[in-house]
Structure 1
Amino acid sequence: MQATLSTSGDIIARIQQLVPPGSPEPQEPKLVEELNSLTQALIREYQASGRLQDDPFNEAWTRSLYLYEADVRSLLRGKSVMVTGGEGYVGSRLIDKLVELGVNRIISVDNARVSTCSNMAPISGKTPNTVLYAADVRDIAALRRIFEAEKPAIVFHLAAIRIPGLAEKIVLETVSSNIFGSQNIIQLCEEYDVEQCVFSSTGKASRYWTAEVYAATKKVNEWLFAHAAQTGNVRYSMVRFTHMLNNSSMCEQIDSKVFANRPVNIHAPERYVVGQNVGEAVHLLLNSLLFAEPKRLRFILVRNLGWPTESLEVALYKILKSGKNLPIYFQGIPPGYEEPFFLGQVDWDDPTEINTLVNALEIENSSAISSSGDIIISETVPFSAYTLMEQLFHLKPLCTDPSLPEVEIKRQLSEVVRKVAVTTFLHASPKRGLQILKWGINLKQYERGEFCLEPHRPFIELVVQSLSNRLDLDTLKECRISTQEFMRLLAALNTFPSIHNDVVRMQSIVSQSRTREQFNVDKVACL
């Protein structure tokens, strides 16, 4: 084997040949034996390159985030604080910190015990000033009774279906919980004169467009909270989390397979994630109270997330640490995790500050670094609230029709995101749109045949369709794009029939330029 499989790439290719993506868990003894041998060879290859010496997530596990504790304590003093999703992992840790900070009264609202509770009476939490209500955020009547009884001054809204793969399997529950449950929270915050509300979002919502259910619901929520901030009386703010290590579904799945002595499945090679720990998450939520401003939805996130970590390396490390001889195989990328990273999502003007949790439109719109140096502060970009509400008006009835296939709800959700996303690009400057297009297409690699545009087609269409009528020669000059480079860019775009007319319009810019140049040449010749 070593003579023919001399690199990690060769070993991975052989594993994929033995167990093609989409195959069931391998069980045939000879197959498992060969996979074991290949996995051990892969571990040795990784070790030879200096990897697997420590937990691949070690930096993320040990990282800390500054908490403006004195200011947070002052803001929370004498207040009652509600946490939706308070019995979840992050919510319960947030409540522990609120207790530590001396909050007057803490109210948890969670659906964890809804099916077993016969009444709305709360139960006591860990401390005398903490109460736990069993209620679903989709049940506005139940929520209203809690708001009426408790009159919270501050609300942290964490309740959500949070696992992308699960969201694809329970589309109706995810949409109704994540979107319409959030609408209930916003409505009651306004009705009961809540002072501040903090929403917990995800870095996946930084995508310009997404059809993945979890990411799409969070993106719609960001627009809902932005609209509420602009039109309501409550001061809203937001945080964006990334892969939470303390309750990582990926790590839990790998650990369970190792514990059960079963083959370890991961999605695919060369799949990367950035991680953060729950301490950072709690401090982000609390600091968000301080960065909130009236009539704007500001959000914060961890600035220094470190290098992305390969899921394959995580699996190999866990197998190595277990001391067991277990095989890995690649199951294929399931729904909820399929969308590739679009290079135009991040701002390449300053590569040293690239952060995948904030997109290039948001960086242009508003971006700052906290005085502590470890937090990025940004703001949601302008969009059409009318388009958002119109699209949600069409989505909501679908969630009340039990006969409707869930794929139709997902399709309409994707359409909501697409139509509102178009308006965000129409609000952005043509210069930024052209920069995003240039960064996203990666022209040199494309022309060498090393980069495929098709996986990024929805993003490219979105940018081009919002840009084609607003582009001019001055924009090209601002972006330092020559007419030759621009024509090469358009040639790449012309591979998509859906934007052919837009490409033709943009080609006219160059034609006008050449006509003008020829006119000037002829004029000089006549003189």
Structure 2
Amino acid sequence: MSDVDHGHGYYPRGTPEVLAEMRSIVPPGQDSVDQSTHRRLAALTGELLAARADGGAELQRFLSVSRRAVPLPEPRVAGELRGRAIVVTGGNGCIGTVLLRQIRRLCAARVISADIAPPRWPVPGVEYVQVDVRSSGAVEGFFARYRPDIVFHLAAQRDPGLAEQQASRSIETNVLGTAKVAWAAARTGTRRFVYASTGKALRPYSRCVYTASKRVGEWMLADVARHGHMACSGARFTHVVDNSIVVDRLRRWCDDGEVVRLHSPDTVFYVQSALESAQLLLAAALAPADDVFRLYAIRDLGWPVNLLDLALGVIASSRVTPIYLAGYEPGYEQSPYPGLYDPTLSGDVSPLLNAIEAHRVEDAGVAGVDSASMVACTAPDVVDRLPELERWCQVGADRQARRVLAEIGWELLVGTVRATSPAVLDRIARLTADHRATMCAEHRRIDDVVRRYAIRTPAATVHAPRAVMTANQG
């Protein structure tokens, strides 16, 4: 029976009771459920729909973000782009297409989209060229021919789950492809390079392929800038509603009558629009033309979206499809490092910048956008290890490629921490003091490095707000 009897009739159960029964029926980590379990989960999902009637509102709030925009100083952007040869790698994707439209709208320029696939939504006036960024020959030939003034590099594997399943291919694209494009651009005289990164790269260290690959990509561009080869900047995105991996999966599961797999009912995540993302890249193109790599991120991303309510909203708009609390899959982090944020800056700095980066925020010159200079850390072995990484990727040796990527990521963490102010590290160490006993092994290892270089002054522990600490950064 789905209702509770207190001797005076029945009343519907609340969310905690229903979720507890869902967990008791089938534990996390199962690849599939049998028909009997499918029916029981469907009944419980119906109870959740009744208990949480705001799911539809959450879906509408999510979809409404697609209309959000950044107040871009368009005359300044147009002045930066006008008359230039501009390349957008990965320009045939969702954000790339919006970016191409924005550039064409703002000014007269030669615009080239370089992508491995043909365009689904061609933009008038744009030249389309097929290029695989994993191919050195293709990249070198392309840059030798077009010699762009400005490059927006968006070509990447963007799905964290697929990056885990296709590790070698994803590392080839996100790490080695980025290196090939950046170095070819610098050699052929590109004056400005803008890199599309991810909010997940705020993690100080991660073994997740997608996160690690993007964090290494940021460092490589910082290294190019540090040596004076080319002005480089980056934009961190979170979950983009216009090409939402989450909603696409939810709708597919509902349409096919399959089980809806959720990481956790407590999962929340920030969102932004494709227009905001394209405009953020254009804002990053206004970065000072010096030897410092700067990261750009939207300051106020609104209140995070609740995954459970979003799923219920999609189910309510389709048909009752059973929810299964499947646990966190590879590529997604269950909980963040406790020192990820400084609570004294919460609300004043973008949640896509971590505690180290937040202390380096500068005036971006664009309303609602933060700019943070990346810690200039030297890690000479990183570039030296790229040929080894490429050899493993080319033969599809995922385990070895993962190992090398993880080792590179760890070297970058140590280099970043060593180059960070000991006072900032000391504050992070105090934030994490009460969490040491419950940290996972990886987070404790990160914390050990932070403490090694911190001032180590005794002080009261400070706690970060829960809503910010648990939000997935896309």
| TM value normalised by structure 1 | 0.81
The answer as to whether partners of 1:345 and 1:440 remain within 8 angstroms in 2 is: no
The equivalent residue for 1:211 is: 207
Does 2:63 correspond to 1:31?
no
| CA deviation profile, 1:319-347 (whole Å, cap 9, x unmatched) | 1123x232211223211013521231112
In 1, the alpha carbon distance for the partners of 2:351 and 2:121 equals 40
Change (3 A) 1:267 1:123: closer
Distance in 2 (alpha carbons) for counterparts of 1:470 and 1:337: 29
1:57 aligns with 2:62: yes
Partner of 1:334: 329
- Mapped contact 1:80–1:103 kept (Cα < 8 A): no
How far, CA to CA, are the matches of 1:412 and 1:420 in structure 2? 12
Contact 1:80 1:105 survives alignment (8 Å): yes
Amino acid at match of 1:156: F
- For 1:68-87, what aligned pairs fall within 5 Å after superposition? 68-87=73-92
d(CA) in 1 for partners of 2:330 and 2:61?
A: 25
Quote the residue 2:465 is aligned against.
none
Distance 1:352 1:126, change over 3 A: closer
Task: Kindly indicate whether the alpha-carbon contact (under 8 Å) linking 2:362 and 2:373 is maintained by their aligned counterparts in 1.
Answer: no
C-alpha distance 288-397 of structure 1, shift in aligned 2 (>3 A): same
Higher percent of residues as helix: 1
1:264 to 260, 263, 274: 260
One-letter amino acid of the structure 2 residue matched with residue 386 of structure 1 = P
Q: In 2, are the aligned partners of 1:207 and 1:345 still within 8 Å (CA)?
A: yes
Matched, 1:178 2:174: yes
Letter in 2 for 1:395: L
Structure 1: 5+ residue runs without aligned partners? 114-121, 487-527
Identical-pair percentage: 27
Q: Structure 1 residue 462: deviation in Å?
A: 2.5
Structure 1 residues 199 and 84 mapped into 2: Cα distance closer, same or farther (>3 Å)? same
Matched, 1:242 2:234: no
1:46 matched residue in structure 2:
52
Match of 2:248 in 1: 252
Structure 1 contact 437–460 (Cα < 8 Å) conserved? no
Per the alignment, residue 321 of structure 1 pairs with: 317
Shift of 1:389: 2.7
Q: Distance in 2 between matches of 1:58 and 1:252?
A: 12
For residues 311 and 424 of structure 1, what CA distance do their matches in structure 2 show? 33
Q: Distance in 1 between matches of 2:282 and 2:45?
A: 43
Q: 2:97 aligns with which of 83, 92, 98?
A: 92
**Paired residue secondary structure (1:106):** strand
Shift of 1:241: 0.5
Does 2:13 correspond to 1:6? yes
In 2: Cα distance, 1:223 partner to 1:339 partner: 25
Question: 1:78: Cα distance to partner?
Answer: 1.0
- 1:408 corresponds to 2:400: yes
Offset of residue 465 of structure 1: 3.2
* 8 A Cα contact 2:328 2:334, kept in partner: no
Q: Aligned letter for 2:445?
A: E
Distance in 2 (alpha carbons) for counterparts of 1:57 and 1:234: 38
* Count of residue correspondences: 454
Q: Find the aligned partners of 1:354 and 1:134 in 2 and give their Cα distance.
A: 39
1 or 2 for the larger relative contact order (CA 8 Å, sep ≥6)?
Answer: 2
- Listed as ranges, the matches of 1:149-188 within 5 Å are 149-188=145-184
Match of 2:379 among 371, 385, 392: 385
SS in 1 for 2:184: helix
Q: Is the 8 A contact 2:262 2:325 kept in 1?
A: yes
**Over alpha carbons, which structure has the higher Rg?**
1
Unmatched runs of 5 consecutive residues or more in structure 2: 6-11, 463-474
CA distance in 2, matches of 1:315, 1:452: 34
CA shift digits 1:3-57 (9 cap, x unpaired)? 17832111112112223222244451x433332221121122222xx55435242
Contact kept, 8 Å, 1:346 with 1:355, in 2: the verdict is no
The RMSD of aligned alpha carbons is 2.5
Query: Which residue is 1:515 aligned to?
Result: none
Residue by residue, what CA displacement relative to the aligned partner does 1:376-417 show, whole Å, maximum 9, x if unpaired? Answer: 1111112123243344454344334x2x74112112211111
Q: Say if 1:154 and 1:359 are closer, same or farther in 2 by CA, change over 3 A.
A: same
How many angstroms apart in 2 are the aligned matches of 1:40 and 1:419?
49
Aligned to 2:341: 346
Query: What is aligned with 1:20?
Result: 27
Residues 25 and 148 of structure 1, relative CA distance in 2, 3 Å threshold: same
Q: Is the 8 A contact 2:233 2:294 kept in 1?
A: yes
Alpha-carbon spacing, 1:328–1:175, altered in 2? closer, same or farther (3 Å): same
Counterpart amino acid of 1:380? M
Equivalent residues of 2:83, 2:109 under 8 A apart = yes
Distance (whole Å) between structure 2 residues aligned to residue 433 and residue 286 of structure 1? 32
